[in-house]
Structure 1
Amino acid sequence: MHETEVKGILSPQNGINIYRGCTHGCIYCDSRSKCYQMKHDFEDIEVKLNAPKLLEDALRRKRKKCMIGTGAMSDPYIHLEEKLGNTRKCIELIDSYGFGLAIQTKSARILRDLDLLKKINEKTKCVVQMTLTTYDEALCKIIEPNVSTTRERFEVLRIMRDSGIPTVVWISPILPFINDTEENIQGILHYCVEAKVRGIICFGMGLTLREGNREYFYKKLDERLPGMKDRYMEDYGYAYQLPSANNSKLMNMMKRICKANNISCDIEQVFNYLHEFEEKKRHEQLMLPGLE
């Protein structure tokens, strides 16, 4: 890790990234892409020393309450968070200033802050977003080696359900020839149904590869799934979009299961829900808008 002071923390879309870089080791991570102009090794975490102060200044100046998002580019619960606690400091500020929170992670470390998430959700709205890609635990450890397993993330979703905290699941990315199977998607959706998630975000079955993350992805395929890189190169080469041949079948299955279980998989609807600030809890919030 290395420490730095930054000039700003809150984006125009009201998002924050408390750290820069990640140690979860997911082989497909888009945040490794060169287009994001990271000037240090991805695992050399940039710790923004003044992040809490900048966030407090920004929240104090805001005339209108809103949802604050985090986790889009860098997971707020990387390993260093156990020691540093910067994510918790920022959540404490979001709570104390009366803002809502939409937080995305792959880590069960979020349970440490369950008390704060409950407090925010009682006053406004807190939405926990969890990425699930691989139902098989052994395969999960291959493609997402240093993070909570899918089963552990499912347990987080169940705890959030029991705590009255709404959840959204990202099913992304789905890797061709690796986890783009009916069995895998059915397993993930079974977890979603049991955890009573509010919505699912899935842009399609497949993944995208840009310069930077493409090289890392292919390197890890060689190391962990011998022969798989050759199959990718034969079918996709250096393409940006790598759609699964099973896309239509799997997407139709997902939509059918979501409809049967009152889970929204309309991306625009789910994103609107994530950004919609609510001053206080409403009985109607038991469902996503449009699903009552």
Structure 2
Amino acid sequence: MKLIMWLGFGLLLQCGVAALLWLNDGSDSAVTSAWQVQQSEITRLALRTQSEEAEQSVALIKSGDNWALESHPALAVDQSKVQRVLTQLSRLSMRFPETTSQASHTRFKVAQDDYALKLDLGDAGQLYVGNTPAFKQVYVRPGEGNEVYRVELNRYDLSTEIKSWLESDLLSLDEVSRIRVGDSQLIKRDESWALHKAGEELSDSLDTDSLKAALRTLETLRVGAVSQASLEVVARFEAGDDDMLSRYELARQDDQYWVRKAGIEGYWFKLSQSDFAALQSLSDPEQLLVADTPQQDTSEQTSD
């Protein structure tokens, strides 16, 4: 009888030790994340910020296999960036909340009326993004609950500026070898540029340094703020290669400078003043001519 009791006690002890080991090694993995969202469930990506100055928002919607700006569907979106954000959102791990109290939402900046960023994810629901406790970490709260979690998420990717979601090279051109304005053309042959007018090559020298600086601006042009205002065109030119030319138009309003490109009709993109000046020089190729310096005639001498 005593032997049976001792055997039973030993079995219970083994079970207890096994349970303790399991709790110690597998407690984290045993807790299911409160955020169970698949990328396919995210049918909309709307971002809204709050500040004392003004609210700012941008929304992207899924169109077939791609994403587009809801307010500007004609503009090309950087699909790789959208995919990067969707991957981050689907991998959020929310296991142990920092707090479950609704009263603490304001402190973490995830309250319904006081938040740093609000995400509307369509069928996947809403997510409030709050303060940033560490690099690439934020406090978040799923829209339906009171629990606040600390998660790995790159806040920098969640911009509410339209330009940050567009393809960065939307306006630029690669390997420009021809500029045309009316009957004037700048043409590159091998590594040399020459000005042609009415089909004839001019023998005048070009300011190649200024020309190359303007071409660098064109070839590295990045999108800025977007406007659909009706602006007066102050300069225009065509640029490209022997196969295709793209038309560019420039505008200035007050102290702001703008450019638009053929194929993206109705949209102006903001420029810096220096980029505007560089592109404007391409609209009048004859300004790039270098005036010949008259040489002194040494054969004529004046005698007293």
Q: TM-score band, normalised by the shorter chain?
A: under 0.3
Larger gyration radius, structure 1 or structure 2: 2
TM-score by length of 2: 0.19
User: Normalization by structure 1: what TM-score?
Assistant: 0.20
More strand by share: 2
Greater share of residues in helix: 1
